Amino acid sequence: MPKDHGIGAAQTRREDVRFLTGQGNYTDDINLKGQAYVHFLRSDVAHGKIAKLDTSAAAAMPGVVRIFTSADFEGVGGLPCGWQVTDKHGEPMQEPAHPIIASGKVRHVGEIVAAVVAESLPQARDAAEAIELDIEELPPVVDMKAALEAGSAKVHDDLTSNLCYDWGFVEENKGAVEEAFGKAAHVTTLELVNNRLIANPMEPRVAVGDYTRHSDESTLYTTSQNPHVIRLLMGAFVLGIPEHKLRVVAPDVGGGFGTKIFHYAEEAFCTFAAKACNRAVKWTSTRSEAFMSDAHGRDHVTTIQLALDENNNFTALRTDTLANMGAYLSTFAPSVPTWLHGTLMAGNYKTPLIYVNVKAVFTNTVPVDAYRGAGRPEATYQLERVIDKAARELGVDPIALRRQNFVTEFPYATPVAVEYDTGDYHGTMDALERMADFAGFEARRKESEAKGKLRGLGVNCYIEACGIAPSNLVGQLGARAGLYESATVRVNATGGLVVMTGSHSHGQGHETTFPQVIAEMIGIDESMVEIVHGDTSKVPMGMGTYGSRSLAVGGSAMVRAAEKIINKTKKIAAHLMEASEADIELKDGAFSVAGTDKSVAWGDVCLAAYVPHNYPLEDIEPGLEETAFYDPSNFTYPSGAYACEVEVDPETGKVTIERFAAADDFGNVVNPMIVEGQVHGGIAQGVGQALLEGCVYDENGQLLSASYMDYAMPRADDLPFYSVDHSSATPCTHNPLGVKGCGEAGAIGSPPSVVNAVVDALQSAGKNVTHIDMPLTPARVWAAMQ
């Protein structure tokens, strides 16, 4: 019988009560007394020199409080980049200044040129229209290949070129990889594009800056996945506000998908302007602004080559990738195409030699950074597409080719610097085969043919590195911060608990799952546990939520803090029962002495900690609150196998997804319902990338896909009912919960199987189509068939 409490229970989400009844408290719901509104005047050209910027007429418009330009930010730091990549020659990446308001030049459509603070938003907008702005256009840098050619216009005049870095990984392996390719019995080559995406969380970004003059304290309410990181970056590197004078609050956040990790100009602006104007300043992004100011995702152009021996064993892999950085380095941008991508190129396979080259390129486009999966979808897509192509070239079963090359012994040290602690790739593939009914595929294909449709089946595996990240390791790789997590567990005198976690929930359901863990540990009901997150004044420290790290890292910190609490309560219980601490057992919310009928309830021990009339005062302090920092010793490595069946209409090229099966290994699962929800959502985004979503710039650097008229998001009727399974689980060996993380898997694992399926469908009709770049729109599929 399934559990209804504790770890493993499919409890409904307690936060949904407020979300579903309109009681959520999102940043835009925060309205402070006397707040002013800011409207940003943004560049509508991609690259140009600001020849004239006259705000005098606008400043005289009704309701205008103040107009800010770059001149107001002289002496203020720019937006910092949190990760420094070292290139293959040992040189640091080129790192341009990233101003809050464009200074001298504009470098992408959407860049802030001026900010109008006014009594009302319409007044701010009207005044912005009265700003006289003249931008002399410069040649736009849009295409990555052209950007690297000699003589290309430069996005940043003070850099030597548009190349951010030329990264080789592992550079020492390059020679051996070349040699292996020379000896290969077969080499499969594939050129592909990982399409640029726009995250589109349901809630657009919002920032409200506030300032209290008498105490010189600044507060920022913002739609962030990591309020402490924003406090650190903005306080220390941008505005120079000490952390004890700066509070950052990220209340309910309606989806992030990575794009709300980063520190944005608008956040720094509202905090700065609130102090400058001595009143609260609010900005709510319009959807149009979101398209041209939220960091974009993906945008890689890759050539991948796989070498196989005469027995179809993978012998070597090499890739050449151009990765778009956009106009500036967003907070974690340099890490995405490198350490979050190159280290995953081994996939589920024991390929002994791998060389990854990545050239990161500046262009006159919106900055590109992490988006659900961040580097790992790009790695998975290349690898699983080239394996599929190799299977077709060699005439072997794509599943058999994968199985033949699976890593089967753990721990496994890959040639790309990571060590998989555990996994069972045959196990997840077996689970997939059970679910997906491959045996019935030919019959289903005939049914489709009878309707005039082509049916295709695509399969892929994936592995990801989650639970980001071991601090000393990422420090060596260029991260400018540690990536531990912290938690404070406070037990009240009557036994209820409050967990203050540095993880941030923006849809993940922490308020439900974290109490399940505590409830399991102590043996109490989940209703006795409250989760506090998202406020730097309430939570001591936190690195936030991204990289599927909440439970694996933040949850582990909470477990460590709860263990300290349990150890202390056992001491108190031993004192109360006049027993040895070693004999105390905690079960079902009561302490007992082993081998006796002596027992004291959880609540009584907690009360004793705060009313220490009978208390071991000479041994331990009163009170019951513990903090723990948890730094993982390794990444976690969720993995899985996915299968997609599509129908293609040969008349129109329209692809419909008929069946989708996902077998995942997430290690231990705390709440299977939430895990399945994460997989469903991830697949929806992966299918969105594969079939629908594509960010388009024209040759002038104008963003053409800047509304839902032109940027197609997946809708319910684009998606089938999924079959999902996470029963083939190998618990993580190095965190206390044995969990691996599930937030990004669906988005990482699904695009290749969709494309593999479409290629399969077209080839079944005798079409010589080996690849189509995403998104597989009807026009592209139809064109490929002609």
Cβ closest to other proteins, residue 86 vs residue 705 = 705
Q: How far is the CB of 282 from other proteins (least distance, A)?
A: 19
Q: How far is the CB of 285 from other proteins (least distance, A)?
A: 14
Cβ closest to other proteins, residue 29 vs residue 698 = 698
Cβ closest to other proteins, residue 109 vs residue 435 = 109
Radius of gyration of the chain (CA): 27
For residue 170, whether the previous peptide bond is cis, meaning omega lies within 30 degrees of 0, is yes
CA distance 645 to 210: 52
Task: State how beta strands 217-222 and 246-249 pair.
Answer: parallel
Q: How far is the CB of 118 from other proteins (least distance, A)?
A: 15
Q: Three-state DSSP class for 497?
A: strand
Residue 256 CB partners (closer than 8 Å, separation 6+): 199, 201, 223, 225, 506, 507, 545, 546
Cβ closest to other proteins, residue 118 vs residue 565 = 118
Q: Is the separation of the CB atoms in 385 and 317 below 8 Å? A: no
Q: How far is the CB of 742 from other proteins (least distance, A)?
A: 35
Cβ closest to other proteins, residue 288 vs residue 599 = 288
CA–CA distance from 126 to each of 59, 63, 67, 119 (Å)?
11, 10, 12, 12
CA distance 749 to 642: 7
Task: Print burial letters for 509-543: b (CB count within 10 Å at least 16), e (below 16).
Answer: bbbbbbbbbbbbbbebebebbbbebbbbeebebbb
Choose among 221, 234, 182, 266: nearest CA to 77.
Answer: 234
Cβ closest to other proteins, residue 253 vs residue 706 = 706
Q: Count Cβ atoms within 10 A of the Cβ of residue 79 and give its class: 0-12 exposed, 13-18 middle, 19 or more buried.
A: buried
Cβ closest to other proteins, residue 274 vs residue 366 = 366
Cβ closest to other proteins, residue 134 vs residue 191 = 134
Report phi then psi at 606, rounded to 5: -65, -40
Q: How far is the CB of 698 from other proteins (least distance, A)?
A: 7
Q: Given the rule CB under 8 A, which residues bind other proteins?
A: 44-45, 109, 125, 128-129, 288, 291-292, 698, 700, 702-704, 706-707, 709-710
Q: How far is the CB of 707 from other proteins (least distance, A)?
A: 5
Report phi then psi at 448, rounded to 5: -65, -45
What H or E segment, with its residue span, contains residue 126? helix 121-129
340: amino acid identity, one letter? L
Choose among 317, 384, 11: nearest CA to 170.
Answer: 317
CA distance 603 to 609: 10
Q: How far is the CB of 712 from other proteins (least distance, A)?
A: 12
Q: Where are the alpha helices (DSSP H) in 37-106?
A: 56-59
Token pair in block for residue 404: 């033949």
Q: How far is the CB of 689 from other proteins (least distance, A)?
A: 21
CA distance 688 to 681: 10
Cβ closest to other proteins, residue 45 vs residue 473 = 45
Choose among 289, 275, 220: nearest CA to 251.
Answer: 220
CA distance 172 to 367: 31
Cβ closest to other proteins, residue 691 vs residue 706 = 706
- 3-state SS of 625-672 is EEEEEECCCCCECCEEEEEEEEEECCCCCCEEEEEEEEEEECECCCCH
Q: How far is the CB of 478 from other proteins (least distance, A)?
A: 35
Token pair in block for residue 363: 């262009």
Task: Print burial letters for 431-442: b (CB count within 10 Å at least 16), e (below 16).
Answer: bbbebbebeebe
Cβ closest to other proteins, residue 633 vs residue 707 = 707
Cβ closest to other proteins, residue 48 vs residue 258 = 48
Cβ closest to other proteins, residue 370 vs residue 706 = 706
Q: How far is the CB of 125 from other proteins (least distance, A)?
A: 7
The CB-based long-range contact list for 585-588 (8 Å cut-off, 24+ gap) reads 586/522, 586/523, 587/523, 588/523
Choose among 572, 781, 614: nearest CA to 692.
Answer: 781
Cβ closest to other proteins, residue 132 vs residue 178 = 132
Cβ closest to other proteins, residue 12 vs residue 707 = 707
CA distance from start to end of the chain: 55
Q: How far is the CB of 784 from other proteins (least distance, A)?
A: 22
Q: How far is the CB of 42 from other proteins (least distance, A)?
A: 8
Task: State how beta strands 197-198 and 296-297 pair.
Answer: antiparallel
Q: How far is the CB of 200 from other proteins (least distance, A)?
A: 14
Q: What one-character-per-residue DSSP string does 336-369 give?
A: TTTTTTGGGTTTTB--SEEEEEEEEEE-SS--B-
Cβ closest to other proteins, residue 567 vs residue 702 = 702
CA distance 136 to 147: 20
CA distance 783 to 653: 8
